[in-house]
Amino acid sequence: MFSGTITPFVGNLTSLERIMLAECNLRGEIPQGISKLQRLTFLQFSDNKLSGKIPSGLYNISTLNILSLDTNQLDGSIAPDLCSKLPNLMFLSVLDNSFTGMIPNTLSNASGLGLINFGYNNFIGPVPKDLGELLNLQKLNFQVNQLQDDMSFISSLTNCTGLQYLVLACLCFVAVDVSQGRRPLLSNHSNTKF
């Protein structure tokens, strides 16, 4: 079993196309030098103890298809233009970290996305309304965050005919009682299933 930190010299391996370092007991930050790996299509650092923010240079690796940073201690926000810069993503998972801020509203720019997993973080704000443009979407998980939404995004998902899993447990949805002309009521549907 490996352990330790990710060497900053990984950026010198410019022909690398795949990095799979899951369950290696890695700690420390993801080195900025990773941005030099412009042929990289697969990046998996799942199930480690990595901390800090996603290095900004990682968003410039436009060849990435798979980005899996599950189960670490990463924090900060996700770049709002994430999928504008990474349009070839097919698998995006940041499950079980400490990310904050809003879910990027550019997810639909990566039209090949089949899996989006933002569960178990501290994201706030609404669910992006254009997810229905992701016609290859099969799995979508936003559970256990601080998202607030009126659930209108659900109607856009009717275009996602291959959607198999939709996980929204422990989100705060806004219910509007239009007939009484009242303000939105907040409700927590901790066991919401669709």
Is the sign of the CA dihedral 141, 143, 146, 148 positive or negative? positive
Tally of residues, the chain: 194
Q: In this predicted structure, what is the pLDDT of residue 190?
A: 41
Task: List, in sequence order, every residue forming a beta bridge with 173; answer none if it has no partner.
Answer: 149, 187
Residues 6+ apart with CB under 8 A from 181: none
State how far Cα 82 lies from the chain centre.
Answer: 9
Amino acid of residue 15? S
Neighbouring C-beta atoms of residue 118, cutoff 10 Å: 24
Do the Cβ atoms of 131 and 153 come closer than 8 Å? yes
* pTM for the full predicted model: 0.87
Q: Domains in the chain, start-ordered, CATH in brackets?
A: 4-167 (3.80.10.10)
Q: What is the model's pLDDT at position 150? A: 81
What confidence tens digit (pLDDT) does each residue in 70-123 have? 999 999 999 999 999 999 999 999 999 999 999 999 999 999 999 999 999 999
pLDDT in tens, 139-165: 999 999 999 888 888 999 999 999 999
What phi and psi, each to the nearest 5 degrees, are found at residue 61? -90, 80
Which residue do the tokens 């229905």 mark?
132
